[in-house]
């Protein structure tokens, strides 16, 4: 029976894949990688490509951000994967970061399982863990909570001490205003583990850069 492997490839550094992810990428006959843009650039594929054996079928599937189009395109990807599984081929579906942290992998998994195929998932290094190691900053310690949230939820912060703000792009000003008002110390990291990796802690520099792939680690006493 063919298996779908959902593989977290980590933040974008080819050395931050796990040994298990590499082993499975090497053995799968088909690799499917998502692309957020129409030009077909896939960060997940870029990250994993040196582990893909010659002769492997590699397909980039576009998962657009717009909701309506997304469902149609996702279904096309599911059908492609299902067809390959029916041929008895093992398929690796690559996801950036971890498959269960802000990813749409779970929808695909449901479809593939409903078709009766085996699924095995390999965890990945999250962008926030990679960023914390890069800047050498604690995410959470002791008896405290760690709250990971998209930028849209920053205004709901109450008594949190350790937070990670994801999807900061285009909301930089609002996020920094709230963090400063609430007495947080913060660091901004973009493109962690990839070309153009940047760490900033000055407000003005962050507002100038405004990178698409960015997050903020923040804490207060």
Helix (H, G, I), strand (E, B) or coil at 166: strand
Q: How far is the CB of 20 from a second copy (least distance, A)?
A: 4
Q: How far is the CB of 68 from a second copy (least distance, A)?
A: 16
Out of 75, 104, 170, 212, the only residue in the binding site for a second copy (CB under 8 A) is 104
Q: Select 88 or 142, whichever has its Cβ closest to a second copy.
A: 142
**Distance of CA 40 to CAs 9, 12, 57, 60, 81, Å?**
18, 16, 16, 7, 18
Tally the C-alpha atoms within 13 A of residue 6's C-alpha that lie toward its C-beta.
24
Q: How far is the CB of 170 from a second copy (least distance, A)?
A: 14
Q: How far is the CB of 204 from a second copy (least distance, A)?
A: 27
Residues paired with 188 in a beta bridge: 200, 216
Q: Any contact of residue 216 with a second copy (CB under 8 A)?
A: no
Q: Any contact of residue 187 with a second copy (CB under 8 A)?
A: no
Distance between first and last Cα of the chain: 53
Query: Using CA atoms, how far apart are residues 177 and 163, in angstroms rounded to an integer?
Result: 15
| Residue whose entry in the numeric block shows the structure tokens 């802690």 | 201
Q: Any contact of residue 80 with a second copy (CB under 8 A)?
A: no
**Count of CB atoms situated within 10 Å of the CB of 12:** 22
Out of 36, 59, 73, 102, the only residue in the binding site for a second copy (CB under 8 A) is 102
Out of 32, 48, 122, 176, the only residue in the binding site for a second copy (CB under 8 A) is 122
Residues 6+ apart with CB under 8 A from 120: 3, 4, 5, 6
Q: How far is the CB of 217 from a second copy (least distance, A)?
A: 9
Residues 8-67 that bind a second copy (CB under 8 A): 8, 10, 13-20, 22-23
Instruction: State the binding string over 124-153 for a second copy (x if CB under 8 A, else -).
Output: xxx--xx-xxx-xxxxxxxxxxxxxxx-xx
For residue 26, give the nearest of 6, 10, 43, 48 by alpha carbon.
48
Q: Select 2 or 203, whichever has its Cβ closest to a second copy.
A: 2
Binding residues (CB under 8 A) for a second copy: these are 6, 8, 10, 13-20, 22-23, 98-104, 106, 109, 119, 121-126, 129-130, 132-134, 136-150, 152-153, 156
């Amino acid at each position: 029976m063919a298996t779908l492997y959902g593989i977290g490839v980590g933040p974008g550094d080819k050395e931050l894949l796990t040994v298990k992810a590499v082993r499975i990428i090497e053995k799968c006959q088909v690799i499917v990688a998502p692309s957020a843009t129409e030009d077909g650039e896939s960060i997940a594929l870029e990250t994993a490509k040196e582990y893909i054996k010659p002769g492997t079928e590699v397909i980039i599937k576009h998962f657009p951000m717009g909701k309506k189009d997304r469902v149609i395109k996702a279904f096309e990807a599911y059908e492609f994967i299902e067809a390959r599984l029916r041929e008895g081929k093992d398929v690796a579906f690559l996801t950036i970061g971890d498959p269960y942290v802000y990813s749409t992998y779970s929808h695909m998994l449901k479809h593939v399982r409903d078709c009766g195929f085996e699924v095995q998932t390999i965890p990945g290094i999250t962008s926030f863990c990679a960023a914390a190691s890069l800047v050498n900053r604690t995410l959470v310690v002791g008896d405290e909570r760690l709250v990971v949230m998209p930028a849209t939820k920053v205004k709901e912060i109450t008594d949190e001490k350790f937070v990670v703000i994801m999807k900061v792009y285009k909301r930089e000003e609002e996020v920094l205003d709230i963090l400063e008002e609430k007495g947080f110390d913060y660091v901004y990291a973009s493109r962690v583990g990839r070309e153009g990796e940047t760490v900033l802690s000055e407000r003005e520099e962050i507002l100038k850069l405004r990178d698409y792939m960015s997050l903020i680690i923040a804490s207060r006493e």
